[in-house]
Amino acid sequence: MFKDRAYVGSEFRGLYVLDVSNPTNPEKLGEIHLNELARNLVAYENYVYVAGSKLWIVDVSNPAEPRVINEFPLKNIATVYISDGYLYVGVSCLIGSEYEIVKSAELTVYDLSDPANPREIGKYTASDFCCGSLYVEKGHVYAVWKKGLSVLDASDPASIREIWSSNTGGKKIMGTNGYVYVLSGSNITILDASEPDRIKKAGVYSNKFEDMYISGNYGYMVVLKNLEVLDLSKPADPVKVAEYTSTSRLVGVSASGEYAYVIGENIEVLKVNLSSQNQSSTLQSNFVEEMLKTVFKIFNLIKNLLGD
């Protein structure tokens, strides 16, 4: 059942639970208002971890009535990530539109053996460390922010250490097949991470990117009103294999299987069939229209489906 749900977080509105068992006709199952900024979120089993002014743990076992069952008073949380039963919580040193620098930037690792009650098992803090977006693979944490990228060896969460860093900054990082992709305002930098302590630049893909999502051998890139689908089977040389143009500017994207979800004035569901012309279905349900009118920006259509 976990694969049939998606979660939408929004500024000052909280969390929406969607049934996407029929991707071309998603339905709202439930919602919960947190009354505070929801910057990022991630799902695990029957729980959603929402990052904002604190970390909320929301029980969605009854999707019609999501409920907060635990809170962690962590300040300035920018991003959360789950890998191999561990929850990684990144505190940003970029707070607010003027990028205020805070000294408490850190990465905290929690054991999710009991998902409702995460247990802290490790923490990393450094004066030059910041965490705006995370990607984790095989015990290595890739943390990016506006001014740099850090690679941490977290194979032993009790003794996390930095093994590589650079000034390749960005606002989002994702990865697949031993490569990581760093999204900045004008390009996507492709890095060979086959040796995490010896990262090598493999290429750059340039455009006016707003968001990206990596799934398997494909990358989904938002460029103004367009969604570009890239074949990443040759990571250093992405090839555009499909494109979709919306009627409004797009701000976010997620994908699962043969479907992509893009956010603009509406949430649109695109069936990605690389052998034929893509077709789209636009959600017109009242809750989506009302939600998009009342929030400033949707930060994340959750990348929550198991296996992505």
**Cα distance between residue 76 and residue 79, in whole Å:** 9
Indicate the number of domains in the chain.
1
Range of the domain at 134: 2-207+286-301
Q: 252 near 300, Cβ under 8 Å? A: yes
Per-residue pLDDT band for 304 (boundaries 50, 70, 90) equals very low
Q: What would the mean pLDDT of 80-104 be, rounded to a whole number?
A: 72
Higher pLDDT, 39 or 41: 41
Q: Helix or strand or coil: residue 3?
A: helix
d(C-alpha 9, C-alpha 48), whole Å = 10
pLDDT-wise least confident of 118-122, 198-202, 294-298? 294-298
User: Residue 218 falls within a domain, yes or no?
Assistant: no
- Domain membership flag for residue 255: no
Task: Please give the Cα distance from 18 to 28 (Å, whole number).
Answer: 5
Query: Residue 86: what pLDDT?
Result: 97
Task: Write down the pLDDT at residue 97.
Answer: 44
- pLDDT confidence bin for 134, thresholds 50/70/90: very high
Alpha helices (H) in the chain, listed in sequence order: 286-294
Is 234 within a domain?
no
Q: Is the pLDDT of residue 299 over 70?
A: no
198: in domain = yes
Contact predicate 135/181, CB 8 Å = no
Considering the chain, what is the average pLDDT of its residues?
81
pLDDT attached to residue 155: 96
Mean pLDDT of 123-147: 89
CB contact burial 70-81 (16+ within 10 A = b; e otherwise): eebebebbbbbb
pLDDT of residue 12: 61
Q: Is residue 120 part of a domain?
A: yes
Per-residue DSSP letter, 100: B
Q: Which has more confidence, 271 or 88?
A: 88
- Asked whether residue 243 is domain-assigned, the answer is no
Considering the domain boundaries, does residue 88 fall inside one?
Answer: yes
**pLDDT attached to residue 13:** 67
pLDDT tens per residue, range 171-202 = 999 999 899 999 987 789 999 999 999 999 99
Is residue 292 pLDDT above 50, yes or no? no
CATH number at residue 53: 2.120.10.30
- The per-residue pLDDT for 87 is 97
Residue at 235 is within a domain? no
Q: 230-281 pLDDT, tens per residue?
A: 999 888 888 888 888 888 898 889 888 778 888 887 778 888 776 554 455 4
Which has the higher per-residue pLDDT, 238 or 136? Answer: 136
